Amino acid sequence: MSLSLKTARPVPVRLSPMTSYLLTRIRQSLITLVLVSMVVFAGIRALPGDPALALAGEERSPAALAAIRADYGLDDNIAVQYGRFIGHAITGDLGTSSRTGLPVADAITAALPVTLELAALSLLLAVVVGIGAGIVAAVRRGRPEEWLANALALLGLSVPTFWLGMVLVLGFAIALPVFSASGYVPFAADPPDNLRRMVLPAVVLGSGLAAVVMRQTRAAMLDSLSADYVRTARAKGLSRREVIGTHALRNSLVTVVTVLGLQLGHLISGAVVTEQIFVLPGFGKLTIDAVFTRDYATLQGVVLCTSAAYILINLLVDVAYSLIDPRIRLGGAR
């Protein structure tokens, strides 16, 4: 690079490749979030029914309806309405639930920790069991361990969530009451009791993901174990542990993280069913209740939050990629 050019142009701030990559990804995520909010907003407006009619109750004279529309800003331009919605959403005001009469934001804040904990525990389970079993299946290829891991994965993939939930409740909450089958106690209030109640839901929600992760890990590990750089690692005299754990696994993680990212979305939707089974007051339950009672404001808030979560997860997955694979971070081929 020539440095001798005498120009008056200010020197641009040099960002590290990682920082500029992050900034790009965050910018993209924000744009996506804005687009999503538009779709959510428009989607709700496209639903059949007139909010003014619903609000008016018995008094349905045109004058009363017009007054309500003016009052709620419903006769404003749609763009103006959207602007108002976003303005409120940014300050944390997502409207009022028509079912409970309470702020939607409060309902979401109450439900969020439950679902987050459930998702985090399921994810932990899926990562630990899935990656562990995947490594074992690849390393012990053609031996009983691989058969066992494959059989478990097939089971995890094919058993429906609700059925697994019921069987686990029968087994570990009723016949052998180790865990509790229903209700939620905040972790901060009573950690052991919280875990006693969360283990079964986490197993139910995480088993499918664990199976997918196991299969991907196994396939990716088989690939990397036959790669030239693993041969190099062996030629260096590295221990089996280093060859598998450092050289093969690190390369396999790119694939596994991709799958995890795609599947995390399923965790959120899977939580809806799981929360119903175990009567957990989380996001899933909030969504279902909102759907059944036509609670549009709550639904809108829930969908917006879920979408934001998806976008955030995608961002995190991309960051994880670049931490694992320098070729993504530093922009290179091969």
Partner 1 sequence: MSLAMSEPVLSVRDLSVSFCSDTRTVHAVDHLSYDVAPGEVLAVVGESGCGKSVTAMAVMGLLPPTARIGGSIRLGGREIAGASEKELGRIRGKDIAMIFQEPMTSLNPVLTIGRQIGEVLRRHQGLSKKEARARAVELLGLVGIPAPAQRVDEYPHQLSGGMRQRVMIAIAVACDPSVLIADEPTTALDVTVQAGILEVLQSLRERLGTAIVLITHDLGVVADTADRVLVMYAGRPVEQAPVDELFAEPRHPYTHGLLGAVLRPGGEGKRRLPEIPGLVPSLDTQPEACTFAPRCAHADDRCATSRPGFKTLAPNAGAAAGAAHRAACWHPQHAPALMPTTREAGQ
Name the site residues for partner 1 (rule: CB under 8 A): 227-229, 231-240, 242, 246-247, 250-251, 324-327, 330, 332-334
Q: Three-class SS of residue 96? A: strand
Task: Name which of 176 and 235 has its Cβ closer to partner 1.
Answer: 235
Whether the Cβ atoms of residue 123 and residue 313 lie closer than 8 Å to each other = no
Task: Name which of 27 and 327 has its Cβ closer to partner 1.
Answer: 327
Q: How far is the CB of 183 from partner 1 (least distance, A)?
A: 45
CA distance 263 to 246: 25
Task: Name which of 144 and 237 has its Cβ closer to partner 1.
Answer: 237
If 0-12 CB within 10 Å is exposed, 13-18 middle and 19+ buried, where does residue 271 land? buried
Q: How far is the CB of 217 from partner 1 (least distance, A)?
A: 16
Q: Three-class SS of residue 8? A: coil
Q: How far is the CB of 149 from partner 1 (least distance, A)?
A: 20
Task: Name which of 25 and 329 has its Cβ closer to partner 1.
Answer: 329
Task: Name which of 57 and 332 has its Cβ closer to partner 1.
Answer: 332
Task: Name which of 131 and 305 has its Cβ closer to partner 1.
Answer: 131
Q: How far is the CB of 317 from partner 1 (least distance, A)?
A: 16
Q: How far is the CB of 278 from partner 1 (least distance, A)?
A: 40
Neighbours of 37 (CB within 10 A): 19
Q: How far is the CB of 232 from partner 1 (least distance, A)?
A: 5
CA distance 289 to 275: 12
Those residues with Cβ within 8 angstroms of residue 83's Cβ, 6 or more apart along the chain or in another chain: none
CA distance 140 to 22: 39
Residue 293 Cα distances to 42, 93, 115, angstroms: 20, 21, 21
